[in-house]
Amino acid sequence: MNIVSFQDVSRVYRNGDHEQRALDHVNLRLEKGKFIVVLGPSGAGKSTLLNLLGGLDSPTEGKIVVAGKDISTLSNNELADYRAETVGFVFQSYNLIPTLTVLENVALVKEIAPKALSSHEMLKSVGLADHIHNFPSELSGGEQQRVSIARALAKNPEILLCDEPTGALDSETGVMVLRLLLSMARDMGKTIIIVTHNQNIARMADVVVQVKNGQILACEEQEHPLNVEEVDW
């Protein structure tokens, strides 16, 4: 079953007379419950794709349907509801609220997400049950990223969008985070979409989407994705 469908989607940025096509007539279909990696060099348009999918940005042309809902024509408030209910975000730089504790950072989603899960459970599942009263600045980078994942998951979203989630982490911590993300897909049935330029991560994916110059070069399913431990980091 398709959970994401891009139909002839373009995103054009205009700056005076200059026009930049970040995405150019993209068509893409992604299935539910898969671990998907979007690969491509810098400036290829992969982050734009993720931002459109996450409701942070709207397409200039085309239609994006996520979980049966056309999100390309939503108002600002409807997009906020979409972000609150359907997608969760994990960033390279974590983006936690520095003035809230770990538990509070996760619990804050209860204010907006109707299907929110227990914050304690989420933090336990990412292995941070002992750090719930710490402030983000008191945690390591990997721990902060795990809080960010717990926060994203606490909304109980259909899709988890991750923008270079291991980009700021050392390889050991990166592996830990990837293992966590993978288990979310395998055990919880979440659709995980990771944007990265790291080829190694792609080897773990169920589906690999190759992006270049604003276009989809390929969208291939991998029959035998590797486990995290099998990938040479």
Partner 1 sequence: MLLRKLFRTLLQYKAQFISMIIMIALGVGVFIGFNMEWYSLEKNLEYIYSATGFSDFRIYSEKGFSSKDLAAIRALPGVEDATRYLSVNTTVKDDTDMIALTVNENMNVSGLLLMAGEPYDEKSEDGIWLSDQYAAKNNVRLGDALTLTYKNYSLTGTVKGLIKSSEYLICLPDETQLMPDYTSYGFAYISPAAFQKIIPGIFRALIGDNWYYQINVKSDLTKAAFVKAAEKALGKTLLVLSKEETLSFAEANGEIEEGKTMGSILPVLFLAIAVLTMVTTMHRITASEKTQIGTLKSLGFHDSRILRHYSAYALMIGLMGSVLGIGIGYLLGWFIMNPSGAMATYIDMPTWNLYVPWFGWVVLAGMIAVLTLLGYLSVKKMLKGTAADALRPYTPSKMKHLALEETKAFKALGFGTKWNLRDLLRHKARSLMTLFGIVGCMILLVGGLGMKDTADAFVDVFFDKAINYQNQVNLDTEGVTNGEALSLAEKYSADWCAQTSVQIGDRGFSLEIYGISHDKVRFPDENMCFVSLSDTGAYVCARMAKDMNLRPGDTLTFSPYDSDQQYTVTVAGVLRSMAESVVMTAKYAETVGFDYAINTLYTDADAASIGPNAHILNVQPKQAIMDSFDMFMELMNEMIFLLVIAAVVLGIVVLYNLGVMSYVERYREMATLKVVGFKDRKIGSLLISQNLWLSVLGILIGLPAGAGVLQYLLTALAAEYEMKMAIGPATYLISILLTFLVSLAVGLMVAKKNRRIDMVAALKTEE
Which residues in this chain contact partner 1 in the complex, by CB under 8 A? 47, 51, 54, 56-57, 76-77, 80-85, 89, 91, 93-100, 104, 107-109, 111-113, 133, 135-138, 151, 155
Q: How many Å from the N-terminal Cα to the C-terminal Cα in the chain? A: 32
Q: Helix 141-154 vs helix 171-188: angle between axes, to the nearest 10 degrees?
A: 20
CA distance 70 to 48: 17
At residue 147, the 3 state secondary structure works out as helix
CA distance 45 to 19: 14
Side chain identity at 230, as an amino acid letter? Answer: E
At residue 29, the 3 state secondary structure works out as strand
Contact between 96 and 152 (Cβ < 8 Å):
no
DSSP state of 140: -
Min CB(177)–partner 1 separation in Å: 18
- Using alpha carbons, select from 1, 15, 87 the residue that is nearest to residue 52: 87
Of 31 and 167, nearer to partner 1 (C-beta) is 167
Of 151 and 203, nearer to partner 1 (C-beta) is 151
CA atoms within 13 A on the CB side of 209: 28
Of 91 and 233, nearer to partner 1 (C-beta) is 91
Of 2 and 93, nearer to partner 1 (C-beta) is 93
Min CB(232)–partner 1 separation in Å: 29
Of 47 and 200, nearer to partner 1 (C-beta) is 47
CA distance 152 to 90: 7
Min CB(51)–partner 1 separation in Å: 5
Of 136 and 174, nearer to partner 1 (C-beta) is 136
Min CB(148)–partner 1 separation in Å: 10
Min CB(128)–partner 1 separation in Å: 17
Min CB(98)–partner 1 separation in Å: 6
Of 136 and 225, nearer to partner 1 (C-beta) is 136
Q: Phi-psi region for residue 14, left (φ > 0), alpha (ψ -120 to 50) or beta?
A: beta
Min CB(141)–partner 1 separation in Å: 11
Contact between 109 and 151 (Cβ < 8 Å):
yes
